[in-house]
A and B are shown apart, each in its own frame.
Chain A
Amino acid sequence: MLAYLIRRLFAAAVMLVVIVLVVFSIFFLVPKWAGVDIATSFVGKQADPHAVEAVREKLGLSDPIYAQVWHFFKGIFVGRTYAAGGDVTHCAAPCFGYSFRSEQAVWPVLTDRFPVTLGLALGAAVLWLVFGVAAGVLSALKRGSLWDRGAMVVALSGVSLPIYFTGLLASSIFVFGLHWMDGKYVSISDSFTGWLGGMILPWVTLAFLYAAMYARITRATMMEVLGEDYIRTARAKGLAEQVVIGKHAMRSTMTPILTMLGMDLGALIGGAILTETTFSIPGLGQAVLTAIKNQDLPIILGVTLITSLAVLVANLVVDILYAVIDPRVRLS
């Protein structure tokens, strides 16, 4: 088990480095190939060449790309110093650099926005896991029934609806039509009940989409599992149906669900870009979208790193859970 863990951790670390390299290449090599100069776009089109030169030197933009990547990593662990002539700025670890646009440090931006997104993702995940899996299991057990048909029609519609449409629709009905809520995001530190009230709509809309997917997968997996020989054996030896379904069938059904949960949760924690845009929630997704539109590399790098870390950690947790549920995994 320990060897398995170490192997997974090592693979995750390698993956993180690869992701940083890829993001660097996207934002440094592609603009270069397209003939866009980052220092110029930082200062502004009408800037004088000296200012552009100073920025280039201070941010180390004329260094070779491997040196820039190295400085970036070094900054995260021990901090770094930006210097150009007499102009010196020290950035303490963990240093993710400064925004090209607002000149704020990136790290506080990340720590401010991370809890917002985490709350959104976790709340929605609880909802979709409970309702999606329950609906899927019921459908599989009552295959062909009215419930099954109804649930699957709803689920298929759910996966075909983009969140930015259901979100807008829900807002226009519940916020503007029925006045049940005011549709504003309230920080959890300002008011817990206000936060809960503001998050209900985003949670439900986001969970609806995923619950639809999970219900479809659960139903398909459950039906396959119910056809297995060991289920017949369990029934033949006289086990109660609840035990056959709850213990024997659920265990195999949950493995693919867990894999999906790891990937989905990881991706969402790293920024539910569409949900945050639709409901104006100030999370990581909104930060990165603004940064991408402004070509604000340090923010993009920071968020991408956090996102990738979230995906990797979530996958790691899932892999470990997997090994607990299914001992065969550890051996391979």
Chain B
Amino acid sequence: MTAPLHEPAAEAAPGAAEEAAVAAADAKAVQGRSLGRIAWERLKRDKLALTGGVVVLLLIVIALLAPVITSLLGQDPDVYHESLIDPLFSTPKGSLGGISGDHLLGVEPVNGRDIFARILYGARISLLVGFLSAVVAVVIGTVLGILAGFFGGWVDSLISRVMDGLLAFPQLLFIIALVSVMPNEMLGLSGTGVRIFVMILVIGFFGWPYIGRVVRGQTLSLREREYVEAARSLGAGRIYILFKELLPNLVAPIIVYTTMMIPTNILTEAALSFLGVGVKPPTSSWGQMLSSAIDYYDSDPMYMVIPGVAIFITVLAFNLFGDGVRDALDPKGSR
């Protein structure tokens, strides 16, 4: 998950955020503390945010190592254990949804698949869709936001109208509609691959206006600053000003909005799978587990609680970390 770190979106990791912001401030400048350094020092003091960050890192590691961990425990997310199911009620034998030394979080009703293994594999889908859709949103939002803010005129009007329109759309409805009309095979992918790809694109597409607005607003105010005027008077071209003068100063808000967007996207992915238009079975995802748990919420409540808590912990960790990053990068913050 940490491999494609070229995009600004992936810089949610604390180390990367610091580096990017350090690079953003002029490295050869005076001896003073750079924005990145100040932000990192603030973040280090924020215990809640650090806890969130550590949990996020742990989740990424768990998702990456899901096959290794499950095989070490001798489990497989797709193997049925019908012997562990009470044939009368089709719920797991034993207390708490069949939790045992072999099945750390119990087994599913009816077919007895190992819930722990399915939760680990579900983490891969959640994080993959959460991160990559944020990348899509950040790339589109940053490019269009900068263009709108920098060029103004009809370019700005056009992009701004599109952003307003997208924000006024009934989004969940359109996301569900788009995901469900997409074909089952495209671009050499099939089945689950297509679903994941489509979800990333669609969630990202509906997310870009949030970042686009912020970037446009920042660009509008930055392009009138003296240092941009100075660069221009020294003969700097538009491209140079865009990439060397404006973009580095936009890194902080982009990082903040990205970290805030990932948990929202994870929730959207879970919602889509819950509604039955996300990842298709037998691939496991948290939303899908919750939706099949509806039928057992009186007889096997643990089956519902486990994926729900998994979503909760993940989203909460990202939110805590995101809040911390925002406070740390906020120049007005006095802490």
A-side residues, CB < 8 A to B, are 15, 18-19, 22-23, 26-27, 30-31, 34-36, 156-157, 159-162, 164-165, 168-169, 171-172, 176, 263, 267, 270-271, 273-274, 277-278, 288-289, 292-293, 295, 300, 303-304, 307-308, 311-312, 315
* Contacting pair B320 A288 (CB below 8 A): no
Supposing A156-B320, A162-B270, A168-B308 touch, asked if A292 and B182 sit within 8 A by C-beta, the answer is no
Complexed CA–CA distance, A100 and B312 (Å):
39
Supposing A169-B304, A169-B308 touch, asked if A293 and B290 sit within 8 A by C-beta, the answer is no
* Contacting pair A18 B165 (CB below 8 A): yes
* Contacting pair B316 A172 (CB below 8 A): no
B-side residues, CB < 8 A to A, are 165, 167-174, 176-178, 180-183, 186, 263, 267, 270-271, 274-277, 287, 290-291, 293-294, 297-298, 301, 304-305, 307-308, 311-312, 315-316, 319-320, 323
* Contacting pair A293 B165 (CB below 8 A): no
Q: Residue of B at shortest CB range from A31?
A: B181
Complexed CA–CA distance, A264 and B113 (Å):
39
Out of B294, B301, B312, B320, name the residue touching A161 (CB < 8 Å): B312
Known A-B contacts: A162-B290, A168-B294. Give 20 more (CB < 8 A). Answer: A18-B165, A26-B181, A31-B181, A34-B181, A160-B263, A160-B319, A161-B315, A162-B315, A168-B308, A172-B298, A263-B168, A267-B170, A267-B172, A270-B170, A273-B176, A277-B275, A289-B275, A293-B276, A295-B181, A308-B169
Judged by DSSP, the binding face of A is helix
Shortest B22–chain A CB gap in Å is: 28
* Contacting pair A160 B170 (CB below 8 A): no
Task: Point out the residues of chain A lying under 8 angstroms from B270, CB to CB.
Answer: 162
* Contacting pair A26 B172 (CB below 8 A): no
Complexed CA–CA distance, A23 and B270 (Å):
24
**A-B pairs, 10 with minimum CB distance:** A34-B183, A165-B308, A160-B316, A160-B315, A307-B170, A176-B298, A172-B297, A30-B181, A270-B170, A292-B180
Supposing A35-B183, A168-B290 touch, asked if A162 and B168 sit within 8 A by C-beta, the answer is no
* Contacting pair B176 A289 (CB below 8 A): yes
Judged by DSSP, the binding face of B is helix
Complexed CA–CA distance, A295 and B181 (Å):
8
Complexed CA–CA distance, A18 and B165 (Å):
9
* Contacting pair A30 B182 (CB below 8 A): yes
* Contacting pair B178 A26 (CB below 8 A): yes
Supposing A271-B170, A293-B180 touch, asked if A162 and B271 sit within 8 A by C-beta, the answer is yes
Selected A-B contacts with CB under 8 Å, 6 pairs:
A27-B177, A162-B315, A172-B298, A263-B167, A270-B173, A293-B180
Supposing A162-B267, A168-B294 touch, asked if A308 and B305 sit within 8 A by C-beta, the answer is no
Complexed CA–CA distance, A311 and B164 (Å):
12
Task: Point out the residues of chain B lying under 8 angstroms from A274, CB to CB.
Answer: 172, 271, 274-275
Complexed CA–CA distance, A34 and B187 (Å):
11
Complexed CA–CA distance, A157 and B178 (Å):
30
* Contacting pair B168 A23 (CB below 8 A): no
Task: Point out the residues of chain B lying under 8 angstroms from A315, CB to CB.
Answer: 168
Task: Point out the residues of chain A lying under 8 angstroms from B276, CB to CB.
Answer: 293
Supposing A26-B177, A31-B181, A273-B275 touch, asked if A176 and B297 sit within 8 A by C-beta, the answer is yes
- Residue of B168, B171, B290 with most partner-chain A CB within 10 A: B168
Task: Point out the residues of chain A lying under 8 angstroms from B169, CB to CB.
Answer: 19, 22, 308, 311
* Contacting pair A292 B177 (CB below 8 A): yes
Shortest B294–chain A CB gap in Å is: 7
* Contacting pair A160 B312 (CB below 8 A): yes
Task: Point out the residues of chain A lying under 8 angstroms from B277, CB to CB.
Answer: 292-293
Complexed CA–CA distance, A31 and B183 (Å):
8
* Contacting pair B170 A311 (CB below 8 A): yes
Task: Point out the residues of chain A lying under 8 angstroms from B171, CB to CB.
Answer: 267
Task: Point out the residues of chain A lying under 8 angstroms from B263, CB to CB.
Answer: 160
Supposing A23-B177, A271-B173 touch, asked if A164 and B183 sit within 8 A by C-beta, the answer is no
* Contacting pair A164 B301 (CB below 8 A): no
- Residue of A23, A172, A311 with most partner-chain B CB within 10 A: A172
Task: Point out the residues of chain B lying under 8 angstroms from A273, CB to CB.
Answer: 172-173, 176, 275
Shortest A311–chain B CB gap in Å is: 6
Q: Residue of B at shortest CB range from A273?
A: B172
Task: Point out the residues of chain A lying under 8 angstroms from B297, CB to CB.
Answer: 168, 171-172, 176
Shortest B293–chain A CB gap in Å is: 7
Task: Point out the residues of chain A lying under 8 angstroms from B174, CB to CB.
Answer: 22, 26
Shortest B170–chain A CB gap in Å is: 4
* Contacting pair A157 B316 (CB below 8 A): yes
Shortest A5–chain B CB gap in Å is: 18
Out of B178, B291, B298, name the residue touching A164 (CB < 8 Å): B291
* Contacting pair B312 A300 (CB below 8 A): no
Q: Residue of B at shortest CB range from A12?
A: B168
Shortest B74–chain A CB gap in Å is: 30
Task: Point out the residues of chain B lying under 8 angstroms from A267, CB to CB.
Answer: 170-172
Complexed CA–CA distance, A307 and B172 (Å):
11
Complexed CA–CA distance, A307 and B323 (Å):
32
* Contacting pair B316 A300 (CB below 8 A): no
Shortest A12–chain B CB gap in Å is: 9
Task: Point out the residues of chain A lying under 8 angstroms from B180, CB to CB.
Answer: 292-293, 295
* Contacting pair A159 B319 (CB below 8 A): yes
Shortest A313–chain B CB gap in Å is: 11
Task: Point out the residues of chain B lying under 8 angstroms from A307, CB to CB.
Answer: 170, 173
Complexed CA–CA distance, A160 and B270 (Å):
12
